[in-house]
Amino acid sequence: MTRHLFARATGALLSWAIAGGAMAAAGATDVSPPSPAQSLSCLQRPEQQPKFPARGNYDRTGGFARVKLKFVAPDQAPEVQLLTNSLREDMLDVVTRYVDRYRLPCLQPTDGTVSAVQEFEFSNTQKAPLPLAPDETTPRGRLDHCYLRPKHDMIFNGLSVGREVNNVVITMTFSGDGEQPPEVKVLHQQAVPRAVDTVVDWARASRMPCRKADDPPLVLQQMFRLYPPGLQRQVLKVEQVNLVDFLAMTENPHAEGVRFDFNTMACPFNVNYTMYGPTLPNEVTDGEKKPDRAIFIDWLSRQNLKYSSHKQARALFGEDLQIRVPCGELNLQAKT
């Protein structure tokens, strides 16, 4: 028996799936109602939900975890198993401390072990959530493939060499069963060799425990920014910007002489833009993957921001914006 419960807190999103203990006989349907323990109706948990552990004024890091909880005694904390996790270490610590205070006082010996699955999502952004594509049922997309990052954050030794941020972009290809480490490939590096080696070694400790040996390979891409001691992080102070203001920030939006009618694109809508250019293609998505927006999104991904220096471009590599696209037309064709 499974069902979901969703609740949002400051910086965290929680959901439930509950699995009762009794099994129906072969060929028969168990129509008996769940006990109070099996329905978690007596669950005791902290009143204050988990809070985002910010590391600064512009800490917008997010993450998602799915945990399986097993209640075996009414006065004991549940056993916890990580099913999916992209949370950094301090966020996972918040989750662990939170669920360690759960109790199920109405649990009876006849209930057996009561299992439940809970999801935690941390977010510290002002960007609006993008709509889902028709073939998606969750905004977490690939994370539903049970990606498990290492529990501990990376430790960078010796990164005092140089005074610039170290940027590394990798892909992780998961093949085989859930015990197989991913094949890690470096797509881009603006970093000292030791930083690249640290990222690769850390990524190889990732797993997808729900995979089966004959599952098709799955490729995930991840970007890392590593800072030498004492180097202050540079960020964009705004997270949302309208299309006209965004284009004013780019190098040459008139170069291709384009014209777009947003009235044919289910306007208005938002897109998320991650700045990798000109080294790598910028990433732009509308979430819904609407075909009538494809040409516009492809063009938008080729628009690179104007930077004051190479140092600024390197410092802002991987930053993202949400662009608000209005109704109407965008005409950047050459004037006669």
Q: Is 211 exposed, middle or buried (0-12, 13-18, 19+ CB in 10 A)?
A: buried
Q: Which residue has the higher pLDDT, 233 or 52?
A: 52
Q: What burial letters (b/e) apply to 4-30, b meaning 16+ CB within 10 Å?
A: eeeeeeebbbbbbbbebbeeeeeeeee
Given a cut of 80, whether residue 47 has pLDDT beyond it is yes
Given a cut of 80, whether residue 232 has pLDDT beyond it is no
pLDDT for the residue numbered 1: 34
pLDDT for the residue numbered 111: 94
pLDDT for the residue numbered 29: 55
Given a cut of 70, whether residue 28 has pLDDT beyond it is no
Model confidence at 143, in pLDDT bands (50, 70, 90)?
low
pLDDT for the residue numbered 183: 98
pLDDT above 70: percentage of residues in the chain: 85
Q: Which residue has the higher pLDDT, 15 or 157?
A: 157
- Mean pLDDT, the chain, rounded, equals 86
pLDDT above 90: percentage of residues in the chain: 64
Model confidence at 81, in pLDDT bands (50, 70, 90)?
very high
pTM (two decimals): 0.83
Given a cut of 50, whether residue 190 has pLDDT beyond it is yes
- Whether residue 81 contacts residue 151, with contact meaning beta carbons closer than 8 Å, is answered with no
Kindly report which listed range (19-23, 79-83, 136-140, 173-177) carries the lowest average pLDDT score: 19-23
Rounded average pLDDT over 22-26: 37
pLDDT for the residue numbered 180: 96
Rounded average pLDDT over 77-84: 96
Pairing of strands 269-274, 240-242: unpaired
Given a cut of 90, whether residue 13 has pLDDT beyond it is no
Residues in the chain: 336
Given a cut of 50, whether residue 334 has pLDDT beyond it is yes
* 312 token code pair: 């600024």
Q: In angstroms, how far is CA 277 from the centroid of its own chain?
A: 21
pLDDT for the residue numbered 230: 76
pLDDT for the residue numbered 185: 98
Model confidence at 26, in pLDDT bands (50, 70, 90)?
very low
